[in-house]
Structure formats: structure tokens, C-alpha cells
Amino acid sequence: MIRVVLPAHLRTLAGLNGEVKVEVAGPVTLAAVVEALEAGYPMLRGTIRDQVSHRRRAFLRFFACEEDLSHQSPDTPLPEAVATGAEPLLVVGAMAGG
């Protein structure tokens, strides 16, 4: 079970309170987690990554275990602590705007 913390606006959009938990079959990568999120919550499609190019939206970042994972390949395995559910994957909106 993978734990994901979404920004407030995406929690509202998906009707979620607090963390969301998703199951991933196979290697636990960023792409697999986002895929599982989008499958469980179709309203999130396009809000984290572009639906056509699958590029991360520019003003979002992926953090886990005090590291910025945003720039690594989406197919890179996530840290073991995320894969085991010990630590959450954080989807974070950039500090900008009002």
C-alpha cells in the first residue's frame, strides 16, 4: 500500500480527506503510483501530469524521504520506505501566486 499526500486543491477535487492510499502491482515507480491514483480517482487525470505527454506539470514537485524526486525518470523505483508504506510520497504545489 503506497501512501500519497496530495495538495489541498487536488484533495478537494477528488473528495479526499488526508492521505490517499493506492495499490501498485509490480515495481513501485512514480509513473506506477500516478497511474494508480488516476485509475482510482479519474478526476485527477491531467492535474499531476499531462494526459498526452505524461510530463509532470511544471508547478508540481514529488518529494519523499526528504528528497526531491521530481527530476528523476518516472520509471525509477521509489525509495523502499515509500514502497513499504513507511513514508508517504508528497505531491507538492510550488510556492507561487496567490
Nearer to other proteins among residue 3 and residue 56 (C-beta): 56
Write down the least CB distance from residue 24 to other proteins, Å.
22
Give which of 65, 68, 49 is closest to 57, Cα–Cα: 49
Contact residues: other proteins, CB under 8 A: 7, 9-10, 13, 42-43, 45-48, 50-52, 57, 59-60, 93-94, 96-97
90 touches 30 (CB < 8 A): no
Output the nine-digit C-alpha cell for 20. Answer: 490517499
Write down the least CB distance from residue 98 to other proteins, Å.
9
End-to-end CA distance of the chain: 34
Write down the least CB distance from residue 58 to other proteins, Å.
9
